[in-house]
Structure 1
């Protein structure tokens, strides 16, 4: 039998439990659960288990294709697998994998590396391939940012690192392309009937959070009943029962009190968002909708159904191609938003952290905040140093 047919027998299985929670596991051709993958996925938090399940099933298929198993695979084999996904590797990495499929981007490679490290560390704890688990427990010297983040930074001597992770990069959108991309996305949103998504809000949150919002989460009038923010704002709440399976990974507690949502993660709403929201509700949103989700599709076979994260990515793909800036995913707007707030706040990372809801200001500085080499201000500064501009 062809090896491709053998490896494709593994698949991800969705499990809906009695309390409404949705979990994911990996099953074989005979519908038997792959015990190693299932045990690891049970340790993952809700929201991350789905992503890790699909990363893990691809890796387990590759193991069968390469004639390996979890007990015999080595760190070098894992580097070969990461190279097959699209990571940089100085040399040949063996048989081709994922033919006719797009290589992973930087964020996807980081997710795959984190999943593989966690999976094999979990197996090492249970006595499977302890040599590989030990090889993954490498450390590095702490940086100044690590010491500031730690409670006792002066006694910090080492930090864990992932030998499979790609080199740091940036996934932001260049400033010169944001306006053209926004106009193109807005046109495609109106054509598809998803109107409101591309104005204002996706710059502050990811696509999965936007697709998980419900109408009751939006408090767009002054002095809302929740009493948590005087100005217009939105509550981001983790729910397991959304019709489109969109789930927020951050599980900030929230409640329903006095016919209003209280708690969750609160984000401020821009005037452009408020204006387009009321236009969207009064002219496009179907009145007969009963699911209560904010973003819906108004045309095609899924008319009236909640908008999915796959639809958000599908809207961005041709829009980015039209303005010729390469592949863009919804999360890239988070990078651009952080950079824009940092510019407006004159480099104050604390303001950018609060505006976008990041856990640490250091994260904003190191991951999201970056200098755009295409910015005229950046070019003018270099030309002044070079002496080519007075």
Structure 2
């Protein structure tokens, strides 16, 4: 059943399917005995909606977000539609939109198990938190400084960052690849990275006869990104180069795993430790930097959604306005304050 999805999605869906099967086992249910009401209650439990939670607890983890729960709903629907043991009523429930006229289907939820999508407002990462991460003693290695610098300046996804190989880096002007005048990197989807890191966007790419990577998602890099890369290369990569048997840029630099490609989990653990050293109230996730970078570019470009979509590798400009553009709305406070202060008779609060 999982083979119908790309390899980059199979692992995510496999985790969701295992979770659902564990729930069935914990509550003494089978594929044949499950009904639509059971599945609704399962999703309530998964998303932390206490009303109507069915059966015993089966997981010791925080509730899933709507986005993560939607992934589980996708694989659960596919599982029951392809199973020859599922009750016909469950199959009909999942397939009920097939009788809806084509011109009306877009307004109908394709998966009745998916949680309702709320207003997408990503968590905004304040400048003070970014500044705190770069305080002395918070980031303890040149590699960690490079990782955070690249996340902050580019908003690259952590899978794309850990998936970078040296041929992807074109950190000079007028690189012979000829696809962008400024220094840049090519983010490409590969399924054979030794650290199992994968770029989410699978744009087509190729290697030129001269050995240069072409196409993929082409991202500009800042001077700070280039400087942090060379500092890491000289101080930490080269001393461990004899232990490296792959082309990944980011590696473990200490311990028994020195020379191995850095994993996305390793980046998340590093950020958690850095958040603790910076005395932050909560730890920072890699994707928070993407929200920040996209919203900042959206505002700096005078809300040019097409420009942001092209730079970040999104296929639709609407993704910017629907999701990342909302974070940029914080800039309207300047105009709201001016409007409030212009109200006649409004006290200014100043003596």
Q: TM-score range by the shorter chain?
A: 0.7 to 0.9
- In structure 1, distance between residues paired with 2:268 and 2:250: 14
Secondary structure of the 1:234 match is strand
TM-score, normalised to structure 1's length? 0.75
> Where do 4+ consecutive residues of structure 1 move more than 6 Å?
none
Secondary structure of the 1:370 match is helix
Bigger mean CA deviation after superposition, 238-247 or 216-225: 238-247
* Deviation digits for residues 250-309 of structure 1 (CA, Å, limit 9, x no counterpart): 332322220211222211212221121122212221332331211111123321211001
Shift of 1:382: 5.2
Residue 9 of structure 2 is aligned to residue 52 of structure 1: no
1:135 is matched with 93
* Deviation digits for residues 169-206 of structure 1 (CA, Å, limit 9, x no counterpart): 4333333554246436x955434844411103464321
Residue ranges of structure 2 left out of the alignment (5+ in a row): none
Matched length? 331
| 1:278 alignment partner, one of 221, 230, 236 | 230
Shift of 1:334: 2.0
Higher relative contact order (CA 8 A, sep 6+): 2
Bigger mean CA deviation after superposition, 205-214 or 286-295: 286-295
1:205 is matched with 156
Shift of 1:357: 0.9
- In structure 2, distance between residues paired with 1:198 and 1:389: 44
2:58 is matched with 97
Bigger mean CA deviation after superposition, 272-281 or 168-177: 168-177
Secondary structure of the 2:140 match is helix
1:20 is matched with none
| 1:171 alignment partner, one of 122, 140, 147 | 122
2:105 is matched with 158
Assess if the C-alpha contact under 8 Å between 2:168 and 2:186 holds in 1.
yes
1:260 is matched with 212
Secondary structure of the 1:342 match is helix
Seen in structure 2, the aligned counterparts of structure 1 residues 179 and 193 have a Cα distance that, compared at 3 Å, is closer
Residue ranges of structure 1 left out of the alignment (5+ in a row): 1-39, 140-154
Shift of 1:137: 4.3
- In structure 1, distance between residues paired with 2:247 and 2:40: 45
| 2:326 alignment partner, one of 363, 367, 370 | 370
| 1:299 alignment partner, one of 254, 258, 269 | 254
Considering fraction of residues, name the structure with more strand. Answer: 1
Assess if the C-alpha contact under 8 Å between 1:204 and 1:355 holds in 2.
no
Shift of 1:340: 1.0
Shift of 1:85: 2.5
Aligned pairs for 1:186-265 (under 5 A) are: 188-191=138-141, 193-201=143-151, 203-257=154-208, 258-265=210-217
Shift of 1:65: 1.1
Secondary structure of the 1:213 match is coil
- In structure 1, distance between residues paired with 2:340 and 2:188: 49
1:290 is matched with 245
* Deviation digits for residues 361-388 of structure 1 (CA, Å, limit 9, x no counterpart): 1111112221468x47527615733745
- In structure 2, distance between residues paired with 1:78 and 1:119: 12
TM-score, normalised to structure 2's length? 0.83
Root-mean-square deviation (Å): 2.8
- In structure 2, distance between residues paired with 1:348 and 1:254: 26
Seen in structure 2, the aligned counterparts of structure 1 residues 366 and 323 have a Cα distance that, compared at 3 Å, is farther
- In structure 1, distance between residues paired with 2:54 and 2:338: 43
- In structure 2, distance between residues paired with 1:175 and 1:268: 23
* Deviation digits for residues 66-96 of structure 1 (CA, Å, limit 9, x no counterpart): 1112222223222222233234353343322
| 1:352 alignment partner, one of 287, 308, 321 | 308
- In structure 2, distance between residues paired with 1:273 and 1:335: 18
* Deviation digits for residues 91-129 of structure 1 (CA, Å, limit 9, x no counterpart): 343322213x33323432232223223333333xx5733
Aligned pairs for 1:328-343 (under 5 A) are: 328-343=284-299
Assess if the C-alpha contact under 8 Å between 2:165 and 2:249 holds in 1.
yes
Secondary structure of the 1:95 match is coil
Considering fraction of residues, name the structure with more helix. Answer: 2
2:265 is matched with 310
Assess if the C-alpha contact under 8 Å between 2:298 and 2:328 holds in 1.
no
